[in-house]
Structure 1
Amino acid sequence: MSRLRLAATLSLLSITALSGCANMYSSESAAVYSKSDMRQVHEVEYGKVLDVKTVKMEGDKNDLLTLGGTALGGIAGSSIGQGRGSAAGAVIGAMVGGMAAQTMQRGATKDAYELTVQTDKGRTISIVQEADVPISAGQRVKILTGNGTARVLPM
């Protein structure tokens, strides 16, 4: 295997591994609470689900992963040619590596629900959250709001 192929293969494997780590701790799930949600007062409201629509939630942008892709692309590109060719390869490789890392991050979508809920107080609200807690139309739910977030949980 040539040096260029080896560098490119290692770069892609590293970006893929890092992108998996990036999403490990971020969640838009109704069942996952951030540290800033702990010991905070949340308003509780009850209601009935009118509609559940499955949507896609785009992947998170992570500047560290983009920087890693840029660096790895630059290293891989620098193995092309000698002298100025190597420098030009490094610049082009860095640009391609950074763009590839960003594209991979945006493409890492998750399933989500757009929930339309009729509250017992007569309001109709819509909340989008990760589709990991089963919720169906007609179901009674609890809506928690506070700390700038809202979540719908089955009763």
Structure 2
Amino acid sequence: MNTAGSGIKFVVCIMAAAMMIMAGCASSSSNVYTYEQTMQAQIVDTGTVESVKSIIIQASNPPVAGGTIGGVTGGVLGSTVGRGHGRDVATIVGALAGAAIGAAIEHDAGTKNGFEIVINLDSGRTIVVVQEADVPMFPGDRVRVLTAPDGTTRVSK
């Protein structure tokens, strides 16, 4: 049994699982609710979409976990290459490359396409809601604006 190969496979599996978990952490979708948001009454307003602007929603936390996990994985993989000083260099290069790749993956996982939706409510107020671009919205669409007790607001058709 090749213990180095088994260790590498284990570390790669851990990294892949961590990246998948990070990718699914946050959502600003009009179709996704957290468990805490269920079974709560929401205020419903109706209105007409005035304008829709495409935007990018980026996670507010800097990529840390992906870089750390990638660095450890890269270092472990690099340590299996060469001997002596060559192995040391491969470990350092592997750690740096892994950290860069892991941070980039985490950054991409925390970035989503979104809409900035301007809505003229039937009450006469105008509001702006930013959410994921998961449901097409166009000027002139009649929409419902749902506001939860925690202040979370989403637009649905």
> Normalization by structure 1: what TM-score?
0.74
Q: Partner of 2:115 in structure 1?
A: 113
Letter in 1 for 2:135: V
State the 1:49 CA deviation.
0.6
Q: Residue by residue, what CA displacement relative to the aligned partner does 1:81-111 show, whole Å, maximum 9, x if unpaired?
A: 4345434532442233122111122234432
Q: 2: CA distance between counterparts of 1:138 and 1:44?
A: 19
Is the 1:48–1:138 Cα contact (8 Å) retained in structure 2? yes
For structure 1, the 5+ residue unaligned runs are none
**Which residue number corresponds to residue 34 of structure 2?**
34
Deviates more, 1:65-74 or 1:87-96: 87-96
Matches within 5 A, 1:116-155: 116-146=118-148, 147-154=150-157
> What is the alpha-carbon distance in structure 2 between the residues aligned to residue 107 and residue 59 of structure 1?
9
Q: Which amino acid aligns with 2:129?
A: I
User: Identity of paired residues, percent?
Assistant: 32
- Give the structure 2 partner of residue 48 of structure 1: 48
SS of 1:114's partner is strand
- State how far apart, in whole Å, the 1-side matches of 2:141 and 2:21 are: 35
Deviations 1:3-48 (A, max 9, x none): 9xxx7xx95x985675345324642210110112112332222211
Amino acid at match of 2:128: S
Q: Is the 8 A contact 1:49 1:141 kept in 2?
A: yes
Q: Which amino acid aligns with 1:51?
A: S
What is the CA deviation profile of residues 62-85 of structure 1, one whole-angstrom value per residue up to 9, with x for unaligned ones? 755443212211112213443454
The alignment yields a C-alpha RMSD, in angstroms, of 3.0
Helix, strand or coil: the match of 1:117? strand
Determine the structure 1 residue equivalent to 2:104: 103
Could you tell me which runs of 5 or more consecutive residues in structure 2 were left unpaired when the two chains were aligned.
none
In structure 2, C-alpha distance between the alignment counterparts of 1:126 and 1:84, rounded to whole Å: 58
Query: C-alpha distance in 2, partners of 1:39/1:88?
Result: 56
Q: Which amino acid aligns with 2:98?
A: G
Paired residues in the alignment total 146
- Does the aligned pair in 2 maintain the 1:59–1:107 contact within 8 Å? no
Normalised to the residue count of structure 2, the TM-score between the two structures is: 0.73
